[in-house]
Structure 1
Amino acid sequence: MGLITEVRVRQPAKHDLVARKFVVAGVGNGFEGTIGIRVLDSRGRVLAEDSAQSAGGMAGVGEFATRVTVPNPPRDGTRLTVQVFGDNPGLPDEGPSPGFNTQEVEVIMFAELRGWLLYRVEAGDTLTSIVRKLRPFTRTTVAQVVAANPRITDPDVIRVGQRLRVPQKD
């Protein structure tokens, strides 16, 4: 039989900011329609595991969505890897580990995140002045703004017109 498995992650996207609880969604299939999900730290340690059911059922590709919870989240601004895969029942010689068609998405965790502000850099702005301006809306640090914006390679160099994500936390 020429059936194949497939997994595509639609959410989260690369470098999305996520909270302790976040949605993982996409299309795919796996053993009995099960999609496996793992959240890994930079050392490859599993911080959370979950699964979702594909609407395609046993063999069909279909939509899936679930909310994943990281029970002991790392410090704010930590980059994590979300692995999504067609579930492998774990029997010997049944397939790859952790599963079929493993997709990986790098995300940035802020445990108590409730969203983020978009800020357009103005003439004379520094990251410190931006954090001070936005203090009525969120309590964040320069280091957290840098972590939330992977395009910032030097915190002393931001450009007029550049759009920055500023995490809003509880």
Structure 2
Amino acid sequence: MGVVTDVRLRQPRANDLVGDRFVVAGIGAGFEGTIGIRVLGPNGRVLTTDSAQSSGGGIGVGDFVARVRIPEPPRAGTRLSVQVFGDNPGVPDEGPSPGFNTRTVEVICFPESRGYLLYRVEAGDTLSGIVRKLRPFTQVTVNQVVKANPRIEDPDRIQVGWRLRVPIQG
């Protein structure tokens, strides 16, 4: 029989900003419908694991969703890897590790964040000026804004029209 399994991650997406609690969602299948989830720190250390049940049950590919919590979150602006995979309940040497059809996406963690603001860069803006302007809404540093926006290669060079993500903190 030519049945194929698959796992796809829909949320979070690459470079999304996440807090110490965030939603992981997608479509997939795993042993008895279980999708494994794990979050890795920058050094590959597992920070947390979780699982979700696929609506396809034990035989089909279906939607899954889980709310993941990182008990000991890293510093603000740390890049993490979120992995989802079809659960592999076999003995350790049986099947791929951590599971079948592993999908990985890198995200940026701001543990105290409740979301983020989108700010469109205007003529004359600097990152320090933007941080001061947004102080009534968030207590964020220039360094944190840089970490939240991978497109910023040099903090002294931002371009008019860029949409910057500014974490809501404090």
Equivalent residue number for residue 54 of structure 1: 54
SS at match of 1:35: strand
TM-score by length of 1: 0.98
Equivalent residue number for residue 85 of structure 2: 85
AA aligned to 2:104 is E
Q: Which consecutive residues of structure 2, in runs of 5 or more, have no partner in the other structure?
A: none
AA aligned to 2:50 is D
Q: Which consecutive residues of structure 1, in runs of 5 or more, have no partner in the other structure?
A: none
Equivalent residue number for residue 41 of structure 2: 41
Equivalent residue number for residue 138 of structure 1: 138
Shift of 1:92: 4.7
Q: Deviations over 1:49-80 (max 9, x none)?
A: 00000000112000000000000000000000
Q: Deviations over 1:58-116 (max 9, x none)?
A: 12000000000000000000000000000000325531000000000100000011111
Equivalent residue number for residue 128 of structure 2: 128
TM-score by length of 2: 0.98
1:94 and 2:94 are equivalent in the alignment = yes
Equivalent residue number for residue 150 of structure 2: 150
Aligned alpha-carbon RMSD (Å): 0.9
SS at match of 2:168: strand
Q: Deviations over 1:5-42 (max 9, x none)?
A: 10000000000000000000000000110000000011
The percent of aligned pairs where both chains have the same amino acid is 72
Mapped partners of 1:120, 1:93: distance in 2: 51
Structure 1 pair 92–126 and aligned structure 2 pair: CA distance change class (3 A)? closer
SS at match of 2:144: helix
Mapped partners of 2:92, 2:59: distance in 1: 21
1:109 and 2:109 are equivalent in the alignment = yes
Mapped partners of 2:90, 2:44: distance in 1: 19
AA aligned to 2:101 is N
SS at match of 2:115: strand
AA aligned to 2:23 is V
Q: Which runs of 4+ in 1 moved over 6 A?
A: none
Mapped partners of 2:158, 2:92: distance in 1: 53
